[in-house]
Amino acid sequence: MTFALRQLAVVVPARNEERLLPRCLDALDEAHRVLRRTRPGLEVSVTVVLDRTNDASAAIVERNTLATALCYGAGNVGRARNFGIRSALRACGLPPAAVWIANTDADSFVPGNWLLAQAEAAEEGWDVMVGTVEPETSDLTEAQLDRWFAAHSLRDGHNHIHGANLGFRADAYERLGGFQGLALHEDRGFVLAAAAAGLRMRATDACRVQTSGRTTSFVRGGFADYLANGIKV
């Protein structure tokens, strides 16, 4: 049975992101305001998974009227994403085919059209939408920026995968069994599994997300290491 889109469920894993989380949530609030202009009846939820977090992030989420915080202790982004998605699906109580899961990160800032682009992907019949990201330029040296833009094609049809800008139908998520419980590249594993399963995927630059250009993080081999040292991500 086919269901019309009824809810966008945004999931944001976070680990001690009190400095950047307010801007992340402000950006999601603005994207929600943009969405309501054309789709006022579409429900939106934001679930922030505080994964092994001991800073003030919970208080920041509590002050936001759209977001809900969940505490989690795995210290693993793949498991944290799964925990947030499954919690959001239980909370909404809708058939999975009527729910679109929109993923970003707590150190990232979505554009105003981000939720609208996610809704449009769902309405057009895509199973997975893979968006682009770019680092915040003020955080990086000229050499680091040159390395980034030389290695990334920011256009429709790109071949990059970032959990900070990823969406999919909840029934596609369930078909694939969710994210692998990986501390790194769980987003890549999910998208490659979707491709192998023959799901309909859209690679787009229509809603580019800006992410922190910091060069240190909790995880070795990830986005920050790429910016600092050119390690492939």
Q: What does the domain layout of the chain look like in residue ranges? A: 7-138+156-212
Q: Tell me, what's the pLDDT at 137?
A: 80
DSSP bridge partners of 103: 11, 166
Q: Is the dihedral angle over the CA atoms 114, 154, 130, 145 positive or is it negative?
A: negative
pLDDT at residue 176 tops 70: yes
pLDDT at 191 over 50: yes
- Looking at the predicted structure, is the pLDDT value of residue 219 above 60? no
Distance CA(82)–CA(93), nearest Å, equals 17
pLDDT in tens, 74-87: 999 999 999 999 99
Q: Please name every residue paired with 30 in a beta bridge, in sequence order, or none if there are none.
A: none
Neighbouring-strand partners of residue 201: 128
pLDDT at 225 over 70: no
Q: Strand order of the sheet with strand 99-103?
A: 67-72, 43-51, 7-14, 99-103, 166-169, 128-135, 201-211, 108-109
**pLDDT for the residue 141:** 82
The tokens for 78 are 């793949």
pLDDT digits (tens, 9 = 90+) for 201-217: 999 999 999 998 765 55
Instruction: For the chain, state the CA radius of gyration.
Output: 16
pTM score, two decimals?
0.90
pLDDT at 218: 60
Average pLDDT, the chain: 91
Residue 8 pLDDT > 80, yes or no?
A: yes
Worst-scoring range by mean pLDDT, 2-11, 43-52, 93-102, 214-223?
Answer: 214-223
Residues with Cβ within 8 Å of residue 93, at least 6 apart in sequence? none
Q: Does the structure show a pLDDT above 70 at 228?
A: no
How far apart are alpha carbons 179 and 99 in whole angstroms?
A: 17
CATH number belonging to domain 7-138+156-212? 3.90.550.10
What pLDDT is recorded for position 197? 98
Q: What is the pLDDT of residue 9?
A: 98
DSSP calls for the chain: ------EEEEEEEESS-TTTHHHHHHHHHHHHHHHHHH-TT-EEEEEEEEET--SSHHHHHHT-SSEEEEEE----HHHHHHHHHHHHHHHH---GGGEEEEE--TTEE--TTHHHHHHHHHHTT-SEEEEEEEE-GGGS-HHHHHHHHHH---STT-----GGGEEEEHHHHHHHTS--S-SS-HHHHHHHHHHHTT--EEEEEEEEEEE---S--SSTTSHHHHHHH----
Tens digits of residue pLDDT in 143-163:
888 888 888 889 999 999 999
Question: Is pLDDT of 133 > 60?
Answer: yes
Question: Please, which pLDDT band fits residue 233 given cuts at 50, 70 and 90?
Answer: very low
Residue 194 has pLDDT above 80, yes or no: yes
Who wins on pLDDT, 218 or 126? 126
Separation of alpha carbons 101 and 35, rounded Å: 15
Pairing of strands 43-51, 7-14: parallel
